[in-house]
């Protein structure tokens, strides 16, 4: 069984640990967290070091892969960039819950996580390091660009596109054919009936632009 590490140890990491156990494809050596002490645990898995320790830990533990368990899309990319400089040959693997439904002709990029009850219908493209959260649904022929996310119970119609780094909030819905630009945040329970520009926060029924945002603005 391939040995991996989980980058992060928060609640999101706990969900990913549970998925990895149910997948039964990987053996988790431990967790990497730069903000907790070595030896602390999440779900029984120990913190084994900081990000800067990873090159040494890969050798010591014969680690063959990693999953970045960080919910914020921009922070997840920042951590990926750091790790890629530290360990340029480290592969990133996917965590896909056995209870998720993945349709025919779906592509899923490296480092993406798909959680329990999620649906990814036929001919969708899910990019690298995306999150398809609990009971979220991406309908046919839709695209999630790299580092984008669907929160729990978020739903899209067919032929939708979610731009790089964009986050669709809990229970939000996208009408068929809608495009959400890059680095956008759609508020929870919103109904998106028309395209949303990049670098905006939008919410409501129907969803409308509320304000502009920057790439690094927190939203979780």
**Active-site residue set:** 140
Burial class of residue 81 in the structure, from the number of CB atoms within 10 Å of its CB (0-12 exposed, 13-18 middle, 19+ buried) = exposed
Greatest C-alpha distance within the chain:
53
Distances (CA, A) of 140 to 119, 122, 172: 10, 5, 17
| 71 annotated as a binding-site residue | yes
49 is in an annotated binding site: no
What's the token pair of residue 192? 């998106």
Q: Is 11 annotated as a binding residue?
A: yes
Q: Say whether 188 counts as a known binding-site residue.
A: yes
For residue 23, give the H/E element and its range.
helix 11-23
Per DSSP, what are the bridge partners of residue 174?
156, 192
Nearest CA to 76 out of 10, 141, 148, 134 is that of 148
**Residue 12 assigned as binding residue:** yes
Alpha helices for 123-213 (secondary structure H): none
Answer yes or no: is 169 a known binding residue. no
Q: Which two tokens stand for residue 15?
A: 């969900």
> Can you say which residues are annotated as belonging to the binding site?
10-12, 71, 170, 188
> Can you say which residues are annotated as belonging to the binding site for acetyl-CoA?
170, 188
> Can you say which residues are annotated as belonging to the binding site for substrate?
10-12, 71
């Amino acid at each position: 069984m391939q040995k991996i590490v989980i980058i992060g140890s928060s609640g999101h990491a706990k969900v990913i640990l549970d998925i990895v156990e149910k997948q039964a494809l990987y053996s988790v050596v431990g967790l990497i967290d730069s903000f907790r002490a070595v030896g602390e645990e999440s779900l029984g898995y120990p913190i084994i070091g900081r990000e800067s320790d990873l090159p040494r830990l890969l050798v010591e533990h014969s680690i063959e892969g990693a999953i970045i368990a960080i919910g914020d899309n921009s922070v997840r990319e920042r951590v990926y960039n750091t790790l890629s400089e530290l360990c340029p040959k480290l592969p990133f693997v996917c965590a896909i819950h056995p209870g998720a439904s993945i349709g025919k002709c779906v592509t899923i990029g490296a480092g993406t996580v798909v959680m329990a009850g999620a649906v990814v219908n036929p001919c969708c493209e899910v990019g690298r390091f995306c999150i398809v959260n609990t009971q979220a649904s991406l309908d046919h022929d839709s695209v999630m660009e790299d580092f984008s996310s669907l929160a729990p119970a978020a739903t899209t119609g067919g032929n939708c596109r979610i731009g790089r780094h964009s986050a669709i909030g809990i229970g939000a819905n996208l009408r068929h054919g809608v495009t959400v630009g890059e680095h956008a945040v759609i508020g929870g329970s919103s109904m998106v009936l028309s395209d949303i520009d990049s670098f905006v926060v939008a919410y409501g029924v129907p969803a409308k632009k509320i304000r502009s945002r920057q790439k690094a603005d927190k939203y979780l």
